[in-house]
Structures are given as C-alpha cells and as structure tokens.
Amino acid sequence: MIKAIRGTRDLLPPDTDLWNRVEAKVRDVFARYNFHEIRTPVFEDTSLFARGVGEETDIVTKEMYTFTDKGGDQLTLRPENTAGVARAFISGGLSQHLPLKYFYAGPMFRYERPQKGRQRQFHQIGVELLGMAGPAGDVEIIACGASILRDLGILERTVLELNTLGDSESRAAYREALVAYFKAHHDRLSADSRERLGRNPLRILDSKDPGDRALIADAPGFGQHLNQKSRDFFAAVTDGLGALGIACELNPRLVRGLDYYCHTAFEFTTTELGAQGTVMGGGRYDGLMEIMGGPATAGVGWAAGIERMAMMLAETPSARRPIAVVPVGAGAERPAAGIAERLRRAGFAVELGYGGNIGKRLKRADKLGASVAIILGEDELAKGEAGLRDLDSGEQTAVPLVELEERLARFR
C-alpha cells in the first residue's frame, strides 16, 4: 500500500472546512489593509535561499529539500517565502513602484522531525511591506497580524513578544560581544552551539539545551549595544503599538532564525501548542535586497503557520450548515432536484438526499449537520407545499413552495 510521505498529510473534511475558514478571515483582513496577493514558484534556484536566508542558517545547512533537475540545475523547494518575494521584486524591476504591499499563502518545505504543529510540508500565510523604511511600517504589519488573530478569536490566547536587533552597526557590536562571551564558555556549550558560534552566534540564543540555557541567562543583551538611532526606532514602534492598544512583552532573547533581520523582531506565541509555540513571527529586513543583488530597499513582514492557527480554533464548524432536501417517493425525485437547484441559485447550501427511506435520509441529513429538512412527498407537491422540519427543535410546519426562500432566510 502506498502511504503519504512522512511529514506530509492529507487534508480532509472537516479540516478543510476549518482551513477555509482561516484563509477566508485572513484574506478579508489583507483586503482591509490593502495588501495584494503574490504567488511565487514552489521551487527556486538553490542559491536564492543560500544568499537570502543565510548560508550558515540551520534552514540552509540542514533542512532544505534540494535536488538536481534533468537539465543539471540545482533547485530547492522553498523553505520560506520572503526570499522568493524578494527575487520576484528584483527580477521584475519593481523598485519604481514602491511602496508595495504583498501577501502570500501556500506550502513550504523543510526536512525536520515531524511533530505536532510542524510537518515537512507545512503551509504559511505571510505579508511583505517593501519600501517603507520608517517604524510606521513595522507597526502596520504587526497590527495586521493582530487583526487576523483577533478575527479568528485567538488573539487573547497569544502573547506578542517584541525585540530590537538594531541597525547594522548595533548588530555588529552585539555579535562581537556575544562571540566573546560564548568563547569564554566554549567548553560548556552544546555541540550544536559550538558549531553555531563560528557561523551564526545569535542562533545560540534559541538553543533548548539546558546547559546552553544556563549560559544564555547571563549573556549580554542587545539593549546594551544599541546606538541612539536604533533606540529611537524601537521606541517609535512600541509607542505606535501602544497607541493602537496592542499589548506586547519585551523579549531581549528573541532573535529570529534568518540572517536578513534588523531592527524589529517579533513573535505571537502561545502555550497551547507544546514546543511549537510560535503562531506568527517576523520583523524588518532592510538589507535583504542588497544581499541578493538588488537595489537597497526597506522591507518588513511576517509569516504565520496555517496549521497552527487552525489547531488553536476551539471547534471546527462548517462555514454554514446545509439545508437537506428530502424527496419521499419516486414521483418526488425530479421536483426535489429542481427545488434544490433553485435554492442553490438563491445562495443556500443544499444537500439533496438520495436513496433509502425517509428515516435513513433524515438520519444522513442530521449526520451532515443540516439545519433544516425540506420534506417533499407526492401529496405535498400536489398541494404546492413542502414540510419544513427544524432539525434542532424537531418542529415541522407546512410551507407553500413559493415561499421557501423567504421562510428559509433564517437558516441561510
């Protein structure tokens, strides 16, 4: 028997209904913030991610799905989408149209140990705001993310953690101090952290190793190495969020995992998903376009896991409960099909009951979560009527067929 590849899963009802609910809310919020959709290829030249994500990051060194195609080109399934959006911006010559506001949605791929909330094929939504250099851009994209979580009813179950990585000058000074500190404790670091010390020391701050955590607790903080420009920028971000009523907690150890971040870094986290507590995260990446060979362009954005947002929703209702049309007797089959189609064209979700006696058809309607059943027997049709049964209360009334749409309005 052929099975799904480890780290992938089939998405079936009712989960698909839940995902559609998440994506509909997301797209509605993006429209309100005037973000427009961009769709980039699922695979790109491998060098794109090596340059854009960072050659020394865990994503590039350990997690990418890379292959050589029949033409000899080395390609990689996208592990994240900011680099792809940046490539589209550069190759499309879009620098004359700034600022640009994009959103995306789709699958990403990383070779990791599958666990709750983290698969090898996972799905993200994200935003990229290009050409906005000031802190107002950071505030807007965080507010957009908070609006999505609020509309899904899960914002209050998350915490917005916020940090600043400063500008390039501040980040370089901090990196130097951090390397000096960890070199002094080299023998106490885990094997992974010793490896990171030379190539990506900020990633040590994300280590879950107990010995590393003890060292991290006493490591120098970013705040001690920020220049005045970086302090002013971060103050403007926190003040802007406060003015919008968006609460946050400062987390000086929050660094994010990609090389292109500067200034603001943030995550919406939760305690409900075990080890995979980040629901949404991102920050500013003003140097990314230049790293990739494009013009200097400010950028800020975030990505969120659709799987994780869906897992946080308390229940999985369908977008709307269907109406069941139940014909009774062979003579009612064709008229029932016509009435079902008429109601669908009027905007109702309708399930037409086929096969079995009325008891079996009503049982199926109940199993499907139908709100009401329209019972059509030959006698009712002869009178121009239908039996309207509320499947929650069990109450049934006779309704003229010409009044069906009006009488069903409350079940829409």
Q: Are residues 149 and 270 part of one domain?
A: yes
- Convert 183-212 to b/e letters by CB count within 10 Å (16 or more is b): eeeeeebbeebbbbbeebbbbbbbbeeeeb
H/E stretch holding 345 reads helix 333-345
Residues linked to residue 70 through DSSP beta bridges, in sequence order: none
- State pLDDT tens for residues 375-389: 988 888 889 999 999
Domain assignment of residue 50, yes or no = yes
Q: How confident is the model at residue 321 (pLDDT cuts 50, 70, 90)?
A: confident
pLDDT band per the 50, 70, 90 thresholds, residue 55: low
Relative to beta strand 159-164, strand 350-352 is unpaired
Residues 283, 350: one domain? Answer: no
How is residue 321 annotated by DSSP?
A: P
Give the orientation angle of helix 15-32 with respect to helix 135-151, to 10 degrees: 140
Asked whether residue 194 is assigned to any structural domain, the reply reads no
What is the rounded average pLDDT for all residues in the chain?
89
**What are the beta bridge partners of residue 250?**
162
User: What's the rounded Cα separation, in Å, for the pair 297 and 253?
Assistant: 27
Which of 256, 282, 312 is the last residue in one of the domains? 312
For residue 338, give the H/E element and its range. Answer: helix 333-345
- Please state, in angstroms and rounded to a whole number, the distance separating the CA atoms of residues 265 and 170: 14
Read off φ and ψ for residue 218, nearest 5 degrees: -105, 5
pLDDT value of position 316: 45
- Report the distance separating Cα 91 and Cα 357, nearest Å: 63
Lowest mean pLDDT, pick from 99-108, 121-130, 137-146, 397-406: 397-406
125 class by beta-carbon count within 10 Å (0-12 exposed, 13-18 middle, 19+ buried) = buried
Q: Are residues 157 and 117 in the same domain?
A: yes
Residue 319 has pLDDT above 60, yes or no: no
Read off the pLDDT of each residue in 31-50 and give the average, rounded to a whole number. 95
Instruction: Tell me what pLDDT residue 257 has.
Output: 56
- Coil/strand/helix, residue 292: coil
Q: What is the distance between the alpha carbons of residues 275 and 321, in angstroms, rounded to a whole number?
A: 35
- In which order are the strands placed within the sheet that holds 350-352? 350-352, 323-328, 372-377, 385-390, 396-400
> Which tokens hold the place of 301?
């954005």
Same-domain check for residues 129 and 25: yes
CA dihedral sign, ordered 303, 308, 313, 319:
positive
Does 178 reside within a domain? Answer: no
- Percent of the chain surpassing pLDDT 90: 52
Q: Does 130 have pLDDT greater than 80?
A: yes
Domain containing residue 105: CATH number: 3.30.930.10
Residues 6+ away with beta carbon under 8 Å from 313 = 18, 21, 22, 152, 153, 154
Boundary residue ending a domain (272, 293, 312): 312
The predicted structure's pLDDT at residue 217: 87
Q: Is residue 372 part of a domain?
A: yes
User: 383 with 246, same domain?
Assistant: no
**End position of a domain, from candidates 312, 335, 363:** 312
| Pair (334, 304) in one structural domain | no
Helices and strands (H and E) in the chain: how many: 15, 16
Domain that holds residue 346: 323-411
Tell me, yes or no, whether 304 and 393 share the same domain.
no
Pick the more confident residue, 369 or 77: 77
Residues in the chain: 412
- CATH number of 340's domain: 3.40.50.800
Does residue 190 belong to any structural domain of this protein?
no
Contact between 166 and 177 (Cβ < 8 Å): no
What the block records as the tokens of 332 is 């009612």
403, 268: one domain: no
Q: Residue 172 falls within a domain, yes or no?
A: no
Are 239 and 373 in the same domain?
no
Provide mean pLDDT across the span 219-242. 92
Q: List pLDDT tens digits, range 258-276.
A: 656 889 999 999 998 877 7
Least confident of 178-182, 265-269, 349-353: 349-353
Q: What is the pLDDT of residues 16-28, one digit of tens each?
A: 888 998 999 999 9
Number of domains in the chain: 2
Are both 58 and 161 inside the same structural domain?
yes
Is 258:56 a contact under the CB 8 Å cutoff? no
* 300 in the same domain as 353: no
Contact (CB, 8 A) for 49 and 64? yes
Which residues lie across from 232 on neighbouring strands? Answer: none
Asked whether residue 296 is domain-assigned, the answer is yes
Measured in degrees and rounded to the nearest 5, phi and psi for residue 255 equal -125, -15
Q: Residue 202: what pLDDT?
A: 81
Residues 6+ apart with CB under 8 A from 166: 174, 222, 225, 226, 227, 230, 262, 263
**Does residue 215 belong to any structural domain of this protein?**
no
User: Is the distance from CB of 326 to CB of 31 less than 8 angstroms?
Assistant: no
- Other C-beta atoms lying within 10 Å of the C-beta of residue 319: 10
Q: Are residues 152 and 19 in the same domain?
A: yes
pLDDT band at 256 (very low <50, low <70, confident <90, very high): low
Task: Give the 3-state secondary structure of residue 347.
Answer: coil
Tell which residue, 261, 41, 255, 72, has the closest CA to residue 162: 255
